[in-house]
């Protein structure tokens, strides 16, 4: 089929291009938009290295056609940093050694970011459950849990500092 026009908001900015309907979202993000922080780790929708947020919801971008993102807001790892400031999760992953090779890390952080929006103070079990769709081969997950907790605590203290809204 001929290409169709796709316009989506990616990390806050409108992006548009003509895509074959079969083009997977992850390929559009990596190859067309040049945002290579989203990774491909498997071919059976199993590993979560390709996780992005669609309207705030973490999904596996390898199992969605790019054209499905029409008119929606896509957030990739490159969009975690806001106004020159790292997301608490990005800091937390560095503070708590939550990454080694870095390949699963973008997906992990995005899934965790959605968790923290939903549940600002998750316990270990809730964190492990929320991340059970993102595989890591290097860390054994323990420091990833610590990283998420670090980020939750940082965001909590920032909310406290910011005072009642």
Partner 1 sequence: MAVEEERIDSWLGKSVKRAEDDRFIAGRGNYVDDVRLPNMLHMSILRSPVAHAVITSIDTSEAAALPGVVAVVTGELMAQHNLAWMPTLSGDTQAVLATDKVRFQGQEVAAVVAEDPYTAHDALELIDVVYESLPVVVDPHASLEEGAPLIRDDKEDQEDNRIYHWEAGDKEPTERAFEKADVIVSLDTHYPRSHPSPLECCACIADVNPATGKATIYMTSQAPHAIRTVFALVTGLPEQNIQIISPDIGGGFGNKVPVYPGYVVATAASLLIGRPVKWIEDRTGNLISTGFARDFHMKGELALTKSGKMLGLRVNMLSDQGYAYADAQPSKFKAGLFHIVTGSYDLGAAHVVAEGAYTNKAPGGVAYRCSFRVTEASYLIERLVNSAAYELEMDPAELRRQNFIKKEQFPYTSVTGFVYDSGDYHQALDLALEKSGYTSLRQEQERARSEGKLLGIGLASFTEVVGAGPSRDFDILGIKMFDSAELRVHPTGKAILKLGVKSQGQGHETTFAQIVANELGIPPQDIVVHEGDTDNTPYGLGTYASRSTPTGGAATAVVARKLRDKARAIAAHTLEVAPEDLEWELGRFFVKGAPDKSTTIQEIAFAAYTNHPLGMEAGLEGVHYYDPPNMTYPFGSYVVAVEVDPDTGEWMVRTMVAVDDCGVRINPMIVEGQIMGGLTEGFATSMMQQISFDDDGNCLGSNFMDYLIPTSWETPKFELFETTTPSPHHPIGCKGVGESATVGSPAAYVNAVIDALAHLGVRNIDMPLTSAKVWEAIQTAPGS
Partner 2 sequence: MFPSSFDYFAPTSVDEVLSLLAEHGEDAKVLAGGQSLISLMKLRFASPARILDINRIEGLDYMEENGSLRIGALVRNRTMERSELLSSRYPTMAAAAPLISDPLVRNLGTVVGSLCHADPQGDWGSVMLALNGELVARSANSERTIPVAELIEGPFTTTLKPDELATEIRVPVADGPSHGTYLKLERKVGDFATVGVAVHLTFEAERVKRAGIGLTAVGPSNIKAEAAERVLEGQALDDDVIKEAARLAAEQAEPHDDIRGSASYKREIVRVFVTRALRAAHHPV
Q: Rule CB under 8 A: which residues touch partner 2?
A: 1, 4, 20-22, 24, 40, 43-46, 48, 51, 57-60, 62-65, 67-68, 70, 111, 129-134
Residue 117's φ and ψ, nearest 5 degrees, are -70, -35
- Nearer Cβ to partner 1, position 137 or 153? 137
Closest to 107 in 3D by CA, of 47, 43, 48: 48
Binding characters for partner 1, 13-42, by CB under 8 A (x = yes): -------x-xx---x--x---xxxxxxxxx
Strand partners, 83: none
Per DSSP, the three-state class of 16 is: strand
Smallest gap from Cβ 132 to partner 2, in A, equals 4
- Nearer Cβ to partner 1, position 72 or 128? 128
Closest to 81 in 3D by CA, of 101, 43, 110, 47: 110
Largest CA-CA distance found in the chain, in angstroms, rounded: 54
- CB atoms inside a 10 Å sphere around CB 10: 22
Smallest gap from Cβ 93 to partner 2, in A, equals 19
**If contact means CB under 5 to 8 A according to the sort of partner, which of partner 1, partner 2, none does residue 95 touch?**
partner 1
Are 124 and 150 contacting, i.e. CB atoms less than 8 angstroms apart?
Answer: no
Contacts with partner 1, residue ranges (CB under 8 A): 20, 22-23, 27, 30, 34-44, 46-47, 49, 76-78, 80-81, 86, 90-91, 93-95, 97, 99-106, 109, 127-129, 131-145
């Amino acid at each position: 089929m001929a290409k169709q026009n796709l316009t989506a908001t990616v990390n806050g900015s409108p992006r548009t291009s003509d895509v074959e309907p079969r083009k997977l979202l992850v390929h559009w993000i990596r190859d067309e938009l040049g945002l290579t922080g989203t990774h491909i780790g498997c071919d059976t929708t199993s590993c979560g290295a390709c996780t992005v947020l669609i309207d705030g919801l973490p999904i596996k971008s390898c199992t969605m056609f790019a054209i499905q993102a029409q008119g929606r807001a896509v957030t990739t790892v490159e969009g975690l940093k806001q106004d020159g400031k790292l997301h608490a999760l990005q800091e937390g992953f560095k503070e708590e050694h939550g990454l080694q090779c870095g390949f699963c890390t973008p997906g992990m952080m995005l899934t965790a970011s959605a968790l923290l929006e939903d549940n600002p103070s998750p316990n270990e079990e809730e964190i492990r459950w929320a991340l059970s769709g993102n595989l890591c081969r290097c860390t054994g997950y323990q420091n990833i849990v610590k990283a998420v907790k670090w980020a939750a605590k940082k965001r909590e203290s920032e909310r406290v500092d910011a005072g009642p809204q």
